[in-house]
Structure 1
Amino acid sequence: MAFFEALREKAVSTLNQVLDNNKQSEQSLSKDELFCLEHRLPTGETVIDESAAEIGVKSENTPPASATAKRDRKHSDGHEPSPQAFPQGRLYLTQHFLVFRDAFDRKTCSFAIHLSTFKKVERLPTRSYVYALSVTTHSRIVVTLYLVGVRPESERFAHNLKLRLKDNLPNVRKLQPFIQTCYSEYLLSKNNVSSEKIEEVPPGGLGLKFKFPGNVRESRDKSKMKLWFDLLRADGRNLSVIKSPMFFRLVRVGLPNRLRGEIWELCCGSMYERFDNQGEYERILTANAHKQSFAREEIEKDLNRSLPEYVAYQQPEGIERLRRVLTAYSWKNPEVGYCQAMNIVVAALLIYMSEEQAFWCLNVLCDRILPGYYSKTMYGTLLDQRVFESLVQETMPILWEHITKYDIQLSVVSLPWFLSSYLSSMPLVFAFRIIDVFFLQGPKTLFQVALAIIKLNGEELLTTEDDGTFIQILKGYFQTLDQSAHPNSPNEKYRSVTNFQELLVTAFKEFSIVDETLIEKHRKKHRDTIFQNISTFVKRTELRNLPKTSNFTPDMLSILYDRFYSVVESYNVTMGSGSSLMDFKGFEKFMSEICDWVEFEEGDGNNSGGSSCRPFLSKLFHHWDSESQSALTLSDLAVGLNKLCEPDLMGAIQNFFEIYDTKNRGKLDRESILQMSEDLLYITTPWKEGYILDRITEIAIENAIADKIVEQQRSSGENFPEDMIPLPSEIDIDRQKLENQQIERYLSAASTFINRAFEYAQPEEETVLLEELVITDNKISHNAALNPNAPVFVNLPTFRMVVLADETYELLFSKTLRESIHVDKPLDEKFNTVRNLRDMFDGLLADGRKVATKVRRRMDSAASNALHTNNSDNTSMKSSKSEKRDEEEDRDDDFGVIAIDDTDKDLLLSAEAQVLVDPIKTSGAGAGKEELSRFHKAEEEATKKNEKHEHDHEENLIEFEHD
């Protein structure tokens, strides 16, 4: 018989595993996490072993029941146990608990006994096919475990239990001080039932001093206490209680005031957290005693609005207890901190609980029982409001039709019920009765009671046509909960039934079908919609609060927001959890997605992104980090990118200069200049290597195409109007030549920048005149500003001058850099930002207006040259200037006014008389050979044509100063 029973249990276990796996896939919770939630165990417990079992329970304090005694005699005589005598179910072993769940109804028998409460474990002599263990707990309860199954598996379970008991020996030392805080132990000790010696009354709630809500005589508190005394003596208490049908029944009829706090923490599982973390509450308060936070400010605002009808919260003692618990939780869980309605719930807990009990109960309530109710976005509450509306629609369709017809916002009515567990809606004495059941059976209680309230007031609610009347009807109902539900009934029994009793019967009988499965089904149905609404609201709010970014449109900021949080994967926008800050690795990845000059490779953080990009990106990262927290907020990133994309040339140059001016002195030293030159080389890599084209190259391509077309038209002898010039589908242009010209131009720009930066650098000593020469060893060298051994600096006007002296870098800051940052690139779109020559040709030929204009200009120029051969040079010059103006019509050449001080002016005036010196070959050029060795390659690749181009720019620079 036992063999077939074992097979049946095995099949049930397999089926449960399949169901648990399906549930896990739906909720993204592991089997062990679901197990902990079901049995209210601390997070982290895992099932080490399990077995089918029958359970026998007896207490050394009371004589065994006749059925139990009869069953014990049968076992001692060697007869097979009857499956109807003891509860049957599954026995689980975790790291710290022995858990039992009845196979048919957990209300029949269930327990989660902490292993530290075990006083004795022994094996009982039985027949070979039954393996029995006797466990004695510190509360003098003897639990007999009849393991059902093959013997090797039963022996394995017993062996694992033995190992876990050894591992839990250190926790045994924590048991004695813990039970000193439990009123159940004190109650039994004073009545000579418990062997524990407890001299002092355990700490309790504010009700001990300020009285408990309600009338003690009407609530029959003494009778309830007597019933609980008998139950605790027979079935154990606190960490080793056996939950029998009587346990559930006594919770439903209402808990006695003095035991209410302990039973609450036992039912919700916070008692286990308090046992494992003894002293943690005081340590948190001590460690953060002098710290300030936004949460503390919010707590102070709500302290005097927490259950003002209770006298303790009109006194300093009650306010101080509430402040300490809320503050401690805000430090323990800074992601949540403090949220609306949390003060009301904690104020209610503190009436029956000590501060430490209330603190751990609040932790379990926020983290496991009602996740998301007390969070930044309140996503849990909003989701359950939608679930409640769905349940009303299903169970009361006529009333729901009336609600929708008159657009009554049901969630506005029910939100305070769920958020404060009815504490702010009905008299406290009745709200606490609901909380009794809530901690026992979980969140479904809130739904069942809410549905019962709507049901019982349904007829009257059908007469309402607006939210105000709807709310007033329910408020009036809450004030009559102590009155008779049937005052006119001829039956005295019915007349004695109060509205509150009728509410409980309706909630837990008529709406018993509303269980966890049904609620989760509706949550799954509406979760995506609610989360999307929350995400949209949070996004809109955060974008509205961003600093002004004039260079970005609202659509660009929206894309920037989405991309930011796609990189910050740890942050859950809908739940408001996780860090909303971007670290450096995330910053590298973000920039690689929008910038042409950043490459990012997944891998080790020290190598990601490549060594070449890290110095400049690191500079940007720390420069944009406004709070110096080694992380960027969305605001930091938006402001930084806005400056990097500045369209004004002077503003763009200044913003780039400030990246390296870390000390805000308005000048850059030698190392900063060298670092800047290296970073400019890095930034310009796509153009320097020729796989992205800038505007200068684009103009060269347009000119080349126009020349080809003119040549073809001359050979054909045809003359077309400007708006009818035919463009060929393909034109053969020397691609390699144009690419090489761009490459040479960027290499030359890099070389020119470092030369001029150090040539025009100024010495730190203000007393040294620029015209003063330094004589060493009878040799004349340049002034102290160009001495590599003397500190020099470049200020903002000088830096602007150096940039404007080179058309490539001038274009870089006016257009190229800005256009290489694609803030408006869609998050889910992958496109190649590289503009090669082939793509450029196709684009120009597809839209040939610019090319046609150039063709007409060249043909007109050729005709003019034929008629005016004697003025060909002048005409050519004017045409060239006109052409140049047309070609650069899209460029931003408004340089504004450069502020040049007297030192800069002297430097410019003397530049014509000074001899240009190669800083690599001459020690007086402001940078030694060793410092500039990294630029050897750039110097070697510069051709004679580049050198002539550089000399032309030097002359233009002097002319610019005179203008």
Structure 2
Amino acid sequence: MSFFNTIRERASSLSIFDKANVPKKPSKDELFREEFKLPDDETIIDETAAEMLVVSKEDSNQNNASNNFSSNENQLSNHSNFVFSGKLYLTKHYIVFRDSFDRKSCVIVLNLSTVKKVERIPSRAYVFALSIVTNCDIKLLIQFIGIRSRSEEFSYKLKTCLRDNVSNTKKIDPFLESLYSEFIVKKNEPGADKSAIHSPDGGLGQLFKYPGDPKKLRDKSKLRLWYDYFRRYGRNLSIARQKMFYKLLRVGLPNRLRGEIWELTSGAMYLRYQNLGIYEKLLKDNEGTSSIAIDEIEKDLNRSLPEYSAYQSEEGIGRLRRVLTAYSWKNPDVGYCQAMNIVAAALLIFQTEEQAFWTLSVLIEKFVPGYYSKTMYGTLLDQKVFESLVEKTMPILWTHITKYDIQLSVVSLPWFLSLFLNSMPLVFAFRIIDVFFLHGPKALFQVALAILRINGEELLEIDDDGTFISVLKDYFSQLDDSAHPNSKDPKFRQLTKFQELLIVAFKEFSNITDEMINQERNKHKPSILQNIETFIKRSQLRNLPRTPNLSKEHISNIYDRFYNCIQSHKASLGVGSSSMEFKTYQQFMNGFCDWALPEEEYDSHPEDFLHRLFRNWDKDSKGVLSLTDVVVGLDKLVNKNLMESISYFFEIYDYNNKGEVDREGILQISEGLLYITKPLQDGKVFDFLTKKSIENYIADKIVEKQNETNDEVILLPSEVNIDQEIFQREQGERYLSAASDFIQRAFEYAQPAEVPELIEIDDKKDLEKIKANAALDPNHPLTLNLATFRMVILADESYELLFSETLSSSIHLDRSTNISDKGGILRDMFDGLLADGRRVANQVRRRMDSSATSSSNNHDSSSIKSKPGNASLIEEEDEDDFGADATSNDYGDLLENAEIQALGDVPVSNNVKKDDRENELKVLHGEMTEIEKGLQNQSISKDKNLIEFEN
């Protein structure tokens, strides 16, 4: 087994098995909710195998079926009393049954609020059965399959859920009054008082008529069939879906019932019942509030199904405005996107505003996620899926399309985005939506494939996009014509092109399943999202203001880390905020800056440096930062111009732009200086002065080691030990001293304020102490202006270096987003300390020159005096040693007999040939010396407080 475990561990380490790249599989509860279109908070409490019998009120009276649950031949021969075997599920608010034959013969989603009575059916000892009566007077007879204890356990949980739902029963009657199915059943009951029964509110079709000819559509006949179905199998929240349900829906819904059936099959009915009053509350709470989404909605209102008369009136426009506005507040990530107005306008023809609101919500968030988003990633993804399906199902047509570079997505994208509402006459588009809400997105693919299949022969003769679109437009305009006008069979002559389209879609392309579509989506999703992210990134970076202190690579890293820190933001999905709050900003800065502490180590208060820097970048005082704010702010912060850097630091504390800060501001500036120099005080990073001290220390050690040998040939030691704590302590003391000197000098050179600040002190002793301190004396308030601040900073070497180099170098904008551990900062600093071998080589050379010059002076001082050129050379070298050695690339003249080898270079030996020395001198005067190479390849090991430079 160990062999297989080893193979498994190795395989798991490969990128191909990287779990992050594998699409997350939906849970059992998620699949359950998706199948039955239930709200997101419904989870399976219990499940069991059972047999189900649906008995209508008439059947119950005639056959007394409650006591006859055996599957005898007479009972099975009656389709209305057919017994179905399947799975029974219980959730918090629903009891769900699904047959095990084809999952369509009997599907029941029963809201527990509609249950009127539950009783146990007397039966034999080994049989456990229940009778459930709904508010529709439909009786569900359930016989459990399995051991009796499990059946009793399920029944007990059902009893508990029914008790918990008692409070919801009071809202069931008002809800049912809004449904047309309840109206037609009650109206046609024998002996009903029709004058007391009022038709519920409906869509715009009740006022402006429904599209199409009702007689030609046979609306009355369809309505009669649905009435019979409701009486036999229940309705709305307690309906049993059997084979007849799907047949009635396929032949087209009656206009008055279409809105309710859409609401039922999409699952929006369950959401509306669960959230009664939310729609009105959203409108009321946000009344008078403006937003970008509302502005966009206003632009599109008059372009929403303009061919329908309701949208030429204020009534229709007003309903559409309220539904779209309410949804923009419900889902601010989406807000409003193009084509939403088309879909919402179609829903409002058949539904009330509240019905359309919840149906639109389910459509956008469940059925076609990403279609109506800022990036439209869902639509783009499904276009790739559609092209892939065309290639698989119609390879000849696909070859023709690719050969002539016909952009299929230009043709098909409007079909998917508007659910065919903008492509074909509304009467036929509504029929497609009937099936779409029942079967989901696969219906769109099936219909789209059928359109290409039917027109395939004609499309194969076309070689350009324009004609391709024209052929399909002509086809859509003829959907009501006969598909076979010359056929001898009258049935074929009566078959319209639209009926043919549905037959081809759902017969020939019945193999297009949800699993196939999801598989294709998972296949193409990474590339689509990556392309969208790349496009968004390029667009945003292109629109950023000019930043002279930041390179393109720096800005790219800032962009990546900015959105990486905002966890909720998904650029490719077009969701989440694109602004950064302070806590996120702190995390962002911690990833780039040596001095930005992690949140757990950060003692936050409103006037500290990070808060002030955040407010300085937040020019509009919104409390959040955009990418532009961050880029512009960082550009100022990394500026290496000494005077501009000092001025910007002063600006951070001069919040009101007065050109001066008061006594409190001076103290806060000193705290800010202490904050950004904290890594330098602790010795976590070294500045240039400390690095130069270390280089001098190394050079001194090399010269000291050489002097001990008293050899003509200069031999370098194999290693130099550096006591790290010495330089850390010296640097820390230097910066603490600089902070102390800053406060002293700032108050010494600060100017008196124009208006004295009066502070009442009760204790005279305390008052005398305060007066003795210039920084606290209330009778003499002080202000520090920019010019004085510059003078005080420039008076200290450490702070001058801080603003000219150290501060900008402490912000590592070249770090990628996956680098978050800053524990290796000191190690990295030591790794790079001797990377440029020229610096230490210069130090050693100068000390050798100084030593040789001193020796020559002792032997022949008169010769030195007679050669003023030598003195001039020494002065130039001293001047170069003052500062230019840090950047000079010129090694100068080496002593004739001196052989300098880099640390860690070839082993040092006294037996060096003269020719080898001459060759080495030639290399030293070339472009790249062996000294540089040795020092650049120098290995650094850390042992406690010692850094050893070894061979």
TM-score, normalized by length of structure 1?
0.82
Q: Is the 8 A contact 1:595 1:821 kept in 2?
A: yes
* Partner residue in 1 for 2:798: 808
Q: Does 1:745 align with 2:734?
A: yes
* Partner residue in 2 for 1:790: 780
Distance in 2, matches of 1:282 and 1:401, equals 53
Q: By how many angstroms is 1:148 displaced? A: 1.6
Q: Does 1:661 align with 2:659?
A: no
Q: By how many angstroms is 1:716 displaced? A: 7.7
Q: Is the 8 A contact 2:480 2:497 kept in 1?
A: yes
Distance in 1, matches of 2:344 and 2:395, equals 36
Change (3 A) 1:786 1:153: closer
Distance in 1, matches of 2:570 and 2:444, equals 26
Q: 1:820 is matched by which residue type in structure 2?
A: S
Which SS does the other structure have where 1:490 is aligned? coil
Q: Is the 8 A contact 2:640 2:805 kept in 1?
A: yes
Q: Is the 8 A contact 1:71 1:81 kept in 2?
A: no
Q: Is the 8 A contact 1:803 1:809 kept in 2?
A: yes
Q: By how many angstroms is 1:699 displaced? A: 2.7
Q: Does 1:51 align with 2:48?
A: yes
Q: By how many angstroms is 1:336 displaced? A: 0.7
* Partner residue in 1 for 2:499: 501
* Partner residue in 1 for 2:414: 416
Alignment of 1:522-921 (within 5 A): 522-600=520-598, 607-609=600-602, 615-707=608-700, 730-731=719-720, 737-765=726-754, 787=777, 789-829=779-819, 832-834=824-826, 839=831, 842-845=834-837, 850-851=842-843, 854=846, 858=850, 880-887=878-885
* Partner residue in 1 for 2:368: 370
Identity, in percent, stands at 53
Which deviations, in whole Å up to 9, do the C-alpha atoms of 1:535-592 show, x marking residues without a partner?
2122222222333332211221111111122222222222122333333333333222
Which deviations, in whole Å up to 9, do the C-alpha atoms of 1:74-109 show, x marking residues without a partner?
448999998994011111111111111111222211
Which SS does the other structure have where 1:387 is aligned? helix
Distance in 1, matches of 2:829 and 2:774, equals 48
* Partner residue in 1 for 2:241: 243
1:122 is matched with which residue: 99, 104, 119?
A: 119
2:487 is matched with which residue: 483, 486, 489?
A: 489
Q: Is the 8 A contact 1:600 1:610 kept in 2?
A: no
2:352 is matched with which residue: 351, 354, 362?
A: 354
* Partner residue in 2 for 1:392: 390
Which deviations, in whole Å up to 9, do the C-alpha atoms of 1:332-361 show, x marking residues without a partner?
111110011101000110111111110010
Q: By how many angstroms is 1:623 displaced? A: 3.1
Change (3 A) 1:620 1:753: same
Which SS does the other structure have where 1:255 is aligned? coil
Q: Is the 8 A contact 1:760 1:798 kept in 2?
A: yes
Which deviations, in whole Å up to 9, do the C-alpha atoms of 1:384-407 show, x marking residues without a partner?
111111111111111111111122
Q: Is the 8 A contact 2:442 2:513 kept in 1?
A: yes
Change (3 A) 1:40 1:490: same
Q: Does 1:107 align with 2:107?
A: no
Alignment of 1:309-388 (within 5 A): 309-388=307-386
Distance in 2, matches of 1:786 and 1:109, equals 86
**How many residues are paired up?**
849
Q: Is the 8 A contact 2:482 2:496 kept in 1?
A: yes
Q: By how many angstroms is 1:797 displaced? A: 1.3
Which deviations, in whole Å up to 9, do the C-alpha atoms of 1:782-806 show, x marking residues without a partner?
9988835533221111111111111
Which deviations, in whole Å up to 9, do the C-alpha atoms of 1:462-497 show, x marking residues without a partner?
112222221111111111111111122222221221
Change (3 A) 1:838 1:504: closer
Which SS does the other structure have where 1:432 is aligned? helix
Which deviations, in whole Å up to 9, do the C-alpha atoms of 1:285-335 show, x marking residues without a partner?
111111000100111111111111111112221111111100000011111
Distance in 2, matches of 1:78 and 1:228, equals 29
Change (3 A) 1:850 1:874: closer
Distance in 2, matches of 1:228 and 1:699, equals 91
* Partner residue in 2 for 1:218: 216
Q: Which runs of 5+ in 2 are unaligned?
A: 1-18, 758-765, 889-951
TM-score, normalized by length of structure 2?
0.83
Q: Is the 8 A contact 1:585 1:608 kept in 2?
A: no
Q: By how many angstroms is 1:168 displaced? A: 0.8
Q: Which runs of 5+ in 1 are unaligned?
A: 1-21, 602-606, 769-775, 891-963
1:171 is matched with which residue: 165, 168, 173?
A: 168
Q: 1:635 is matched by which residue type in structure 2?
A: T
Q: Is the 8 A contact 1:409 1:467 kept in 2?
A: yes
Distance in 1, matches of 2:767 and 2:499, equals 109
* Partner residue in 2 for 1:258: 256
Distance in 1, matches of 2:55 and 2:495, equals 37
Change (3 A) 1:677 1:363: same
Q: By how many angstroms is 1:858 displaced? A: 4.4
Q: By how many angstroms is 1:842 displaced? A: 3.7
Distance in 2, matches of 1:290 and 1:662, equals 34
Q: 1:641 is matched by which residue type in structure 2?
A: L
Change (3 A) 1:853 1:292: farther
Which deviations, in whole Å up to 9, do the C-alpha atoms of 1:491-550 show, x marking residues without a partner?
222122111111000000111111111111111211211121122122222222333332
Q: 2:739 is matched by which residue type in structure 1?
A: A
Which stretch shifts more, 218-227 or 757-766?
A: 757-766
* Partner residue in 2 for 1:961: none
Q: 1:156 is matched by which residue type in structure 2?
A: E
* Partner residue in 2 for 1:454: 452
Which stretch shifts more, 628-637 or 101-110?
A: 628-637
Which stretch shifts more, 386-395 or 625-634?
A: 625-634
Which SS does the other structure have where 2:355 is aligned? helix
Distance in 2, matches of 1:489 and 1:839, equals 88
Which deviations, in whole Å up to 9, do the C-alpha atoms of 1:433-470 show, x marking residues without a partner?
00001111111100110110111111111112222221
Distance in 2, matches of 1:192 and 1:207, equals 26
* Partner residue in 2 for 1:467: 465
2:187 is matched with which residue: 182, 187, 190?
A: 190
1:437 is matched with which residue: 435, 439, 456?
A: 435
Q: By how many angstroms is 1:718 displaced? A: 8.8
Which SS does the other structure have where 2:89 is aligned? strand
Q: Is the 8 A contact 1:702 1:844 kept in 2?
A: no
Which stretch shifts more, 535-544 or 502-511?
A: 535-544
Q: Is the 8 A contact 1:99 1:110 kept in 2?
A: yes
Q: 1:825 is matched by which residue type in structure 2?
A: R
Change (3 A) 1:27 1:737: closer
* Partner residue in 2 for 1:93: 90
Which SS does the other structure have where 1:834 is aligned? helix
Distance in 2, matches of 1:79 and 1:495, equals 42
Q: Is the 8 A contact 1:366 1:372 kept in 2?
A: yes
Distance in 1, matches of 2:477 and 2:108, equals 38
* Partner residue in 2 for 1:941: none
Q: By how many angstroms is 1:834 displaced? A: 2.1
Q: 1:176 is matched by which residue type in structure 2?
A: D
Q: By how many angstroms is 1:135 displaced? A: 1.3
Which stretch shifts more, 702-711 or 265-274?
A: 702-711
Change (3 A) 1:147 1:425: same
Which deviations, in whole Å up to 9, do the C-alpha atoms of 1:178-235 show, x marking residues without a partner?
1111111111222226989963321111111111111111111111111111111211
Distance in 1, matches of 2:24 and 2:883, equals 65
Change (3 A) 1:669 1:363: same
* Partner residue in 2 for 1:297: 295
Q: Does 1:277 align with 2:266?
A: no
Distance in 2, matches of 1:142 and 1:70, equals 11
Distance in 2, matches of 1:160 and 1:785, equals 74
